[in-house]
Amino acid sequence: GEMETAPPDESADDIVASLPSNTTGPNLELRQYQGVWMLGTVVPGLISLQRHFRSRPGDVLLASPVKSGTTWIKSLTFATMARFSYPPCAADHPLRRLNPHECVPYMEEVFLHGQEAKLEALPSPRIMHTHLHYSLLPRSLAKCKTVFVCREPKDMVVSLWHFLNRAGVNFSFSEVIELICDGKNPNGPFWDHVLGYWRASKVRPDGVLFVRYEKMLVDPVSTVRELGRFLGVPFSAAEEAAELPMEICKLCSFDTMRGLQGNKTGSTGEFNFAHQSYFRKGIVGDWVNHMTPKTARRIDTTVEEKLRGSGLTF
């Protein structure tokens, strides 16, 4: 569905101040904007994005809940689309030098800092990323080819907890569980986040590709082929013979990425997240090492109930 954007004459700060808030933990204030819980500090960026984003033909949007394979889908998509200028084995490939988050901008942050010029400067076709729900996308953005990646929620929660703690936001594990089950995690509720893109992918399969982290891990090469087809740059017979999809997967694999200098050092973005912290374990099922069967069941049941009837399961 389309949403009304905020009235253009109201200041973003006034809007944020009027939103319902939920302060959990020492330094995490969430605000509820158009039905979605978000870091209060990010909301002005979203308002600006809704008011000012201008699309360009060929734009590609990547979307995801946090800790669901964002870094990976950014690198795979970038490598797939840039392969005509930078074959995956090129020594000067941008992904060998830069963190994937430096190759594909995070839109809320760009607009939060008034850095729209960064987007203007990107060569076409542009690749951009958002953590926004489908319902919050401005119309012109919702029309872009969109790749959405998500992940089994228990593994996502575990990944989030580690990530926040590494970043110095000291959350207890049970606090993070409460947030996710209440739908008050950053960019929550989780179920609305996944359902928005799930439904859009059913209505417009040419416009929205729904990808799952677990499936990517089992068969990354098929995912890359699917990306190529979906984005209008399918791999040719010659490229297949040269094993290009496989080479892209090797470049973007957890082990290669984690070992690159640009990912071992430096930090990125609004909160100065260490590049290193985007590469932790990269496996399925790590939740068994973190939660009791009872907690696991609670998350499963909550999510199952919310997704009932949609055809989407985790």
Positions touching ligand A3P (CB under 6 A) are 64, 66-72, 155, 159, 162, 252-254, 257, 278-282, 286
Annotation marks residue 193 as catalytic:
no
User: What contacts 226, CB < 8 A, 6 or more positions away?
Assistant: 209, 211
Measure the CA–CA gap between 170 and 190, rounded to whole angstroms.
Answer: 21
Q: In terms of Cα–Cα distance, which of 218, 232, 242, 234 is closest to 145?
A: 232
Q: Closest distance between ligand A3P and the C-beta of residue 286, in Å?
A: 6
> Which one of the listed residues 93, 101, 131, 275 is annotated catalytic?
131
Residue 48 vs 68, nearer CB to ligand A3P: 68
Q: Dihedral (C-alpha) 190, 195, 198, 202: value to the nearest 10 degrees? A: 180
Preceding omega of 65 cis (within 30 degrees of 0): no
User: What contacts 217, CB < 8 A, 6 or more positions away?
Assistant: 282, 283, 284
Residue 116 vs 300, nearer CB to ligand A3P: 300
Residue 78 vs 279, nearer CB to ligand A3P: 279
Q: Closest distance between ligand A3P and the C-beta of residue 10, in Å?
A: 32
Residue 289 vs 292, nearer CB to ligand A3P: 289
Q: Closest distance between ligand A3P and the C-beta of residue 181, in Å?
A: 19
Side-chain half-sphere exposure of 218, counting CA atoms within 13 A: 5
Q: In degrees rounded to 5, what are phi and psi of residue 238?
A: -65, -40
Q: Closest distance between ligand A3P and the C-beta of residue 116, in Å?
A: 24
Residue 83: how many other CB atoms lie within 10 Å: 20
Residue 198 vs 278, nearer CB to ligand A3P: 278
Measure the CA–CA gap between 184 and 176, rounded to whole angstroms.
Answer: 9
- Tokens 């074959």 locate to 87
Q: In terms of Cα–Cα distance, which of 121, 131, 128 is closest to 100?
A: 128
Residue 99 vs 201, nearer CB to ligand A3P: 99
Q: Closest distance between ligand A3P and the C-beta of residue 121, in Å?
A: 24
Q: Closest distance between ligand A3P and the C-beta of residue 117, in Å?
A: 26
Under 8 Å between Cβ of 140 and 53? yes
Measure the CA–CA gap between 117 and 114, rounded to whole angstroms.
Answer: 8
The catalytic residue positions are 131
